[in-house]
Structure 1
Amino acid sequence: MTLPPADSELGKLMATLPRPGRVEWIGLRPARGEAMRAVGEAQAVAGKGLVGDRYALANGSGKRGVTLIQAEHLPVIAALSGHADVAPSLLRRNVVVSGLPLLALKERRFRIGEVVLEGTGECDPCSNMERALGPGGFNAMRSHGGLCARIVEGGMFRLGDAVVVLS
């Protein structure tokens, strides 16, 4: 979906968020199939990914340089997959954000710490979610998988940093 013109009524509604978000968890995937490692801060490299994360080593456009998931969706995913709770590391996203609707950042630029990101699209679940969450895990993640983002300007970000939409 392409964003409507900024001066249209729908454009104004889509640009309005109640408050900034907040980074609640950061994780890195050192290699395919390895467990995620929770960290207190991460260094983002423009056009690539996060230092220490396997996607930073991949060549390409960097459209999936960082993956984000909404903290408020974790209990929903747990309930839909039949678990009491779900650890962020199990879902294999880099950043858990609370306090704002992540999908509102699709096709928008936003800042976390020193880093400027651009939402490139929804982060759909993969078949690994069936193994991680059990039968139906893939479907439990549908519409709750979060957002993929390109790193426009690199730098550091940390737990507790604000997630702010740039105009």
Structure 2
Amino acid sequence: MTLPPADSALGKLMATLPRPGRVEWIGVRPARGVAMQALDEVVAVAGAGLDGDRYAGGSGKRGITLIQAEHLPAIAALAGLDAVEPARLRRNIVVSGLPLIALKGRRFRLGEALLETTEECDPCSMMEAALGPGGYNAMRGHGGLCARIVEGGAIRCGDALIPVIDASAD
């Protein structure tokens, strides 16, 4: 994604966030077809993924997936559920406090790790089984982001998510 110049009016608006985000939940899936395992902390491996996650040895484009905590009630409502637990949505990290979409095409710090968004994390057909009929559509627009791990490090529940405005300075 091409971002507007940082010194343009739109660039300044897109770089202004009300506060840092916060890690609310962490999960990994060790193998295909098994349930997500909730963790208090995880190690992000540069160019790969999260230690213990089945995608840890991949290309890195989808090394980590993030979803916004504030979207969980909306997904539940759209799926006709009272609530939805993060593990059902198959994302690695749930963050609160800032709009994830504002990080599209940007780098950010999550705990000790430096990440860079690569694409939106669209829902897959597994959401029909996870959320029931219409689950795929309930997730559309709420699926979060995928990111590659630029610099590895520990990520813990409660850690801050801090956008890096000038990626070349970090």
Q: TM-score, normalised by structure 1?
A: 0.97
2:30 equivalent in structure 1: 30
- Which structure 1 segments of 5+ residues have no match? none
2:12 equivalent in structure 1: 12
Query: For each residue in 1:28-85, what CA deviation from the matched residue of structure 2 results, as whole angstroms up to 9, or x when unmatched?
Result: 0111111000000000000000000001023x2x110000000000000000000000
Q: Kindly report which structure 2 residues correspond to 1:147-158, keeping only aligned pairs within 5 A, or say none.
A: 147-158=145-156
| Alpha-carbon distance between aligned partners in 1 of 2:110 and 2:144, rounded to the nearest angstrom | 16
Q: Kindly report which structure 2 residues correspond to 1:137-156, keeping only aligned pairs within 5 A, or say none.
A: 137-156=135-154
1:121 to 119, 123, 126: 119
| Alpha-carbon distance between aligned partners in 1 of 2:155 and 2:125, rounded to the nearest angstrom | 30
2:65 is equivalent to residue 67 of structure 1 = yes
Deviating above 6 A after TM superposition, structure 1's stretches of 4 or more consecutive aligned residues are none
Amino acid corresponding to residue 38 of structure 1 in structure 2: A
Q: Kindly report which structure 2 residues correspond to 1:31-110, keeping only aligned pairs within 5 A, or say none.
A: 31-58=31-58, 60=59, 62-110=60-108
- Which structure 2 segments of 5+ residues have no match? 166-170
2:140 is equivalent to residue 134 of structure 1 = no
Q: Percent identity?
A: 75
SS at match of 2:56: helix
SS at match of 1:33: coil
SS at match of 1:151: strand
1:113 Cα offset (Å): 1.2
Amino acid corresponding to residue 44 of structure 1 in structure 2: A
Amino acid corresponding to residue 7 of structure 1 in structure 2: D
| Alpha-carbon distance between aligned partners in 1 of 2:149 and 2:139, rounded to the nearest angstrom | 24
| Alpha-carbon distance between aligned partners in 1 of 2:117 and 2:97, rounded to the nearest angstrom | 17
SS at match of 2:108: strand
| Alpha-carbon distance between aligned partners in 1 of 2:5 and 2:111, rounded to the nearest angstrom | 28
1:90 Cα offset (Å): 0.1
| Alpha-carbon distance between aligned partners in 2 of 1:2 and 1:137, rounded to the nearest angstrom | 31
Amino acid corresponding to residue 86 of structure 1 in structure 2: V
SS at match of 1:57: coil
* Alpha-carbon RMSD: 0.7
Amino acid corresponding to residue 23 of structure 1 in structure 2: V
